[in-house]
Amino acid sequence: MEPHERRHRNRYAQPGRNGGPRPAKATSVASVAADLPPRRTFPSRRVLLPRRPRLAGALTLALALLTALAVTALPGGDTSPDRTGRTCTPRTVASWEPDPAVTGEFARYGDDGILHDDWTGGDGTHSVRLPDGRVLWLFSDTFLGRVHQPPNPSGQPHTWREMSAPAVRNSGVLMSASGVLERTLPAPLFPDPAPDRWRWPVAARVEPRTPGSDEHVVRVLLWTRETGPAPWIYGVPAATEVATLSLPDLRVEGITTVLDQSSVADPAERVLFGTAAVADGGWTYVFGGDDGRSALGRHAYAYVARVPDGRLAESGAWRYWDGRGWSRRAEPRPVLGDGDAKGVGSAFTVVRDGDTYTLFTMAAGTRGLTTVTAYWACSPSGPWQGPVKEFAPPLPEDSGGGGGLAAYNPRTHPALGTDGGLLLSYDVNWLDAAPGVAHTEVNRNVSLYRPRFLRLRLTPGG
């Protein structure tokens, strides 16, 4: 698909114009190390930001990466130690309910029909609160263009999009401090690094430009993927990058490769970092997974690295959990996963609640197309406890029957308030092996390819 032409002037064309303001027996380190696969070393390199390229091909629907949502009621008990003896309280999802306000705001914005070059749908939903109160929402594969009011050409009561609607590999949408979506940044926000390669934004953080600096920037972790044969129809994992965006105008200043995986022959063994980033004690803990296993129908392992505040874009500042401690060598060892029923999908999320970390991911097996499960730990390196009880979030109503709908990509958004419960988003999409079917379905009913939101209440114990 060629880049769309801007048929109407985008009133938000210049960034910044509206930019004012249940525990178990603890596992020993030795036993953990014995169960883990060999270490792998990945070199790092720096790349220059390329000129804005032409788009290659139509939107890829990232359902091979599904780790669908099943939120877990966690095991019972009072406390559990981590590998250093630190204790914390288990966390349980006491209740959940849909958040129609946030879900509805994305529907309103996507359906407004005012412009022909702004966001109308996407997945890979991440967010970061900016210093002036605004929220930057980041998406992977994104539809732009205009949405038409119902009925659609089939006579169904859905807002719809033309089959020729433009698509890009990533996008950014700004929300005001009061919670109103205002504008789409020029898309794609992060250009393709090379032909048949693209970038998907994942977690983002605001941090000092350098350690101790009063100036702050936005650092966005990126997954670089490249075209590959089956089963890699959703792209071969290639690298982890970090983009630096200026504040308040959100200009992309540069992109650095922090973990290049091209030397790892088996794509299923490649690790991508950035699915979650959690701040704690002057460090950013960056979680990742060998997400290629998802393409092969396996549960993935989770990994973690940490980086001092202000240095996310420096590959030399990254320290990887190697099963014993934090190492400067890029030889990550898993912190979660047994290669079978216990593990993560490529898209999981982590949130810190007091001294406890909670991880939400897709359930194992076919339940992972509808269900979220969870784990908890006292530190990012674990040991992680779980999983247990699950739940399935609601899917959109669809007059076509919705038989191919799937939920995936659970993401927490703690910056959007926790007093009313932790906000968790999940993406929806149409799953069908026949070429072009998913594309047709998400255009005849645009709500089938937009994030939806829940409010979770986490309580101590289980």
Q: 178-208 pLDDT, tens per residue?
A: 999 999 999 999 999 999 999 999 999 999 9
Cβ pair 67, 345 in contact under 8 A: yes
Alpha-carbon gap, residue 362 to 347, rounded angstroms: 8
How much of the chain exceeds pLDDT 70, in percent? 77
pLDDT value of residue 249: 98
> pLDDT by residue (tens digit) across 16-26?
333 333 333 33
Residues 6+ positions from 68 with CB-CB distance below 8 Å: 345, 362, 363, 367, 368, 369, 370, 371, 372, 406, 407, 408, 426
**Of 76 and 318, the one with more pLDDT:** 318
Reported confidence tier of residue 3, pLDDT bands at 50, 70, 90: very low
CA 459 to chain centre: 24
Q: Which CATH number fits domain 65-460: 3.40.225.10, 2.30.42.10, 2.115.10.20, 3.40.1440.10?
A: 2.115.10.20
In this structure, the number of other CB atoms found within 10 A of the CB of residue 180 comes to: 11
Residues 6+ positions from 142 with CB-CB distance below 8 Å: 59, 119, 121, 122, 167, 168, 169, 170, 171, 187, 188
* Secondary structure element (H or E) that encloses residue 35, with its range: helix 29-35
Cβ pair 272, 240 in contact under 8 A: yes
* Single pTM value for the model: 0.82
Does the pLDDT of residue 305 top 90, yes or no? yes
pLDDT value of residue 459: 84
Structure tokens at 12: 């938000």
Residues 6+ positions from 66 with CB-CB distance below 8 Å: 294, 345, 347, 362, 368, 369, 406, 408, 409, 431
> pLDDT by residue (tens digit) across 332-360?
999 999 877 788 877 899 999 989 999 99
**Of 61 and 221, the one with more pLDDT:** 221
